[in-house]
Structure 1
Amino acid sequence: MFSPGKFVSSCIYKAVGDKVVIPFDGASLPAYNELKWTHNQTRVYYKKGSQIKNSELNIDQHGSLVLENVQKDKSGEYRGITYDADGSLIKETVQQLCVQEPVPEPTVLVECVEKGVNLTCSAVNDKSMVVSWMKNSMKANVTRAVLYVNSSELKSGDNFSCTVSNKISQTSAKEVEPVCSDTGLDLWSILVVLTGGGILMLFIICLVCVCRGCRQNKRKAEGEEQHQPVSFMPDYIYQPDDQQKLPSTFGYL
């Protein structure tokens, strides 16, 4: 026989696809009793005597609710109530079901930042997931998805890994060995330096080209002056008409 009263239990954690039995905690259910199960206040099973009026889900001989291939939408509160033939309450049980996906395998992403490195455990996308970090196979006291390591604490050969877990599964990432320069320059600073260096090199190349062009033009001009022909003709050539312009002292007027 059932003991009267209400039984409330903590959450039952199950993985997607599992078979779940939500217990009613009693002996075999008498055939004349009335039994009702609800999921989040929606009736999913009802039986009175030998008549089953609602059988969205199944029960076993003890009145426990059976769910096959459970999915996340089946999470929530399940309430089972049984009455005797006179309608008096015999037993009530309330059970929480929490269905979770198995956690995926995480990856540690490395980002070199100023004066250190950020390590991100990439698979953390659910509040139910718990993160832990390992440094050189020793557990670190950090539970955040992003771990910052100062460059002064980072030694050559140090390796890191993160572990992600929930109530039904746990998996770890492959170890990584972060390698960052000691200059403390971030990506944008490096890009600015490279861009400035490129502009300076372009200016120097243009300046060299201009100087070479000037020298070539000067040499060409000097070569043309050296090869000019020399004229031996007098600057003035006597013409016959010029007799009219001779002075009168010659007496030929």
Structure 2
Amino acid sequence: MSSTRESSSFWSNVTVKTKTMASLSVVAVCLLCCAAVASQGCDQFAAVGGNFNVPLGYQLKPTDTLKWKLNGNIIFYKRSVRLVVGKNADINDDGSLKLTNLKLDQAGLYTFEVFDQNGRPQTTRNTNLCVLDPVKKPEVKATCQDENVIFHCVSGAQPADAELEWLQDGEEAKGNRRSFETRAEETKGAQFVCKVSNKVSSESSEPVVHICAKTGYPDGINIWILTGARVGFIVVLTVLVSVCFVRVEKKMTMGLKADGEELPMQRIDTEQHSHHPNFSSLQPHHLQS
């Protein structure tokens, strides 16, 4: 009989322990699920390196006790006028929690608890704070391509949640693509700005005006300029050919004189003078007999 009772007691203990472990497992799973849900939903956003006040939303009395927790750990505890954990500089006059020079590891679930002078709970509230990297200032580059212009937003490494948009003369345009192409003539003189933003910050590039549109004279005058250029080219070419021809002829003339040959025109001139009536009288006197 005793062995039967011991065996029954043993299995009873095993059953109780099994049920207890199962209950603990269920509780743990529930807590994990709650934590996952809490981590996904952000009540407030703040930027890395910035400051943020976690709101209290309750009118404190001088005799109240205030506790602030981060992810369940007490980071500030003040009982009436006696400070237990933290520093007086950690909170503002209204009891809100003061966070300065924020870091990524300061994100999480902030909880405050308020008790009266008798230790009775007055109020409590949770605030899930998400700390994000701020965006960086972008730059716009314009590239001319035929009759079009390509705008490109150079933003470098940005946070994963960063969003991009284009502004044309201060108004939203062209969607959220990093680059876009448009007609140069249609956007001549327009100012384009690339804007990058997320939940905690926003940065805009300097405005850029492209110089890809047709410049110079109005349409129609270009034809006359082109025609004039062609005529001028022909005139210059004609002058150059004429100058070259004259120089070549001059060189040939000088070459014949150097060889002692008389040019045809010179011989004709000599013959004309020899038949002239006064030609003999013009001869030197020492030639007469």
Structure 1-normalised TM-score?
Answer: 0.51
Q: Which amino acid aligns with 1:39?
A: L
Deviation at 1:92, TM superposition (A): 0.9
- What's the counterpart of residue 165 of structure 2? 132
* Residue 175, structure 1, aligned to residue 208, structure 2: yes
Q: Which amino acid aligns with 2:172?
A: K
Q: Which amino acid aligns with 1:77?
A: L
- What's the counterpart of residue 38 of structure 1? 69
Show CA shifts across 1:15-60 (max 9, x none): 6243x322212223332x3321112333211223444332067223
Contact 1:34 1:82 in 2 (8 A): yes
3-state SS in 2 of match to 1:25: coil
3-state SS in 2 of match to 1:62: coil
Residues 25 and 136 (structure 1), Cα distance of their counterparts in 2 relative to 1, 3 Å cut: closer
1:220-231 to structure 2, matched below 5 A, reads none
1:65-144 to structure 2, matched below 5 A, reads 65-100=97-132, 102-110=134-142, 119-123=151-155, 125-135=158-168, 138-144=171-177
**C-alpha distance in structure 2 between counterparts of 1:16 and 1:163, whole Å:** 21
Q: Which amino acid aligns with 2:44?
A: C
Residues 53 and 117 (structure 1), Cα distance of their counterparts in 2 relative to 1, 3 Å cut: same
Number of corresponding residues: 168
**C-alpha distance in structure 2 between counterparts of 1:139 and 1:40, whole Å:** 41
- What's the counterpart of residue 278 of structure 2? none
- What's the counterpart of residue 161 of structure 1? 193
**C-alpha distance in structure 1 between counterparts of 2:137 and 2:211, whole Å:** 20
- What's the counterpart of residue 47 of structure 1? 78
**C-alpha distance in structure 2 between counterparts of 1:135 and 1:60, whole Å:** 43
Unaligned runs of 5+ in 2: 1-41, 214-289
Unaligned runs of 5+ in 1: 1-8, 181-253
Show CA shifts across 1:110-164 (max 9, x none): 57899977543222611333321124554214123x13326xx443736533122
Residues 134 and 12 (structure 1), Cα distance of their counterparts in 2 relative to 1, 3 Å cut: closer
- Flag the structure with higher helix content: 2
Deviation at 1:107, TM superposition (A): 1.0
Residues 111 and 78 (structure 1), Cα distance of their counterparts in 2 relative to 1, 3 Å cut: farther
- Give me the CA root mean square deviation: 3.7
3-state SS in 2 of match to 1:170: strand
**C-alpha distance in structure 2 between counterparts of 1:90 and 1:25, whole Å:** 12
Show CA shifts across 1:48-84 (max 9, x none): 3444332067223432212233344433332111123
Out of 67-76 and 89-98, give the one that drifted further.
67-76
Structure 2-normalised TM-score?
Answer: 0.46
**C-alpha distance in structure 2 between counterparts of 1:99 and 1:117, whole Å:** 39
